[in-house]
A and B are shown apart, each in its own frame.
Chain A
């Protein structure tokens, strides 16, 4: 574990922080461009929506590749052993609530990205020649249904994620996602030291 001056411990590498904030920015753009017209704020949203979607999809693919081959993928996967946290055991790098939040985000974002890429064929973009006849109307409907459900789940997750991220007692996590580090005291207060996984 690399210790920096002032007893700082790196928690998130720059590339992972960049991924987090690119994801956050694109999710805000995607939800704003898709949901504002629904509540009556009308503007030309389609191009902005698919461009943000493509950026998010590229970021997700890079994140999956990095997490699979350069990081310890299991560090973020919920396991039965995590239930020991209810009896006071300290977690490794990520607590059970953090793992569940990541899992929920993964479901929402992957579902939105996969269905979004397919829906781009229907909408027509520079990447795909518009062809609404690839699928039946019913299949397009189910793809849109999944895309919509992912959007609704994302609305819920953004609210909860931002709320917990801004709580004073979680400030160290917010700082670590901005600057990359926690102090060793903050790490020891909430996690098993030495089991934080790779930054």
Chain B
């Protein structure tokens, strides 16, 4: 996976053009991971809370 996008200037030297858009999937994946992990943590907390109540 590339981290950056590259191009060339008028002298043929490599210059950075920006972030590689491969990282878009990483950003979406990180967001989804936080959501899933929190949802699991929340579900476990609710289950153990109900069990304590019984």
Contacts and interface: CB of A to CB of B under 8 A. Distances in A.
Contact of A141 (B15, B34, B42): B15
B18 A148 contact: yes
Name the prevailing secondary structure of the A interface residues. Answer: helix
Name the prevailing secondary structure of the B interface residues. Answer: helix
Counting chain A CB atoms within 10 Å of each CB, the highest count among B18, B32, B38 belongs to B18
A189 B24 CA distance: 38
Interface residues of B, number: 22
A159 B18 contact: no
Given A155-B24, A159-B28, A142 B35 contact: no
Contacts of B35: 159-160, 163
A24 interface: no
B19 A148 contact: yes
Interface size class of A (residues with CB under 8 A): 20 to 34
Nearest to A138: B15
B9 interface: yes
11 contacts: A38-B24, A39-B24, A137-B9, A141-B17, A145-B4, A147-B18, A152-B24, A155-B28, A156-B34, A159-B31, A159-B34
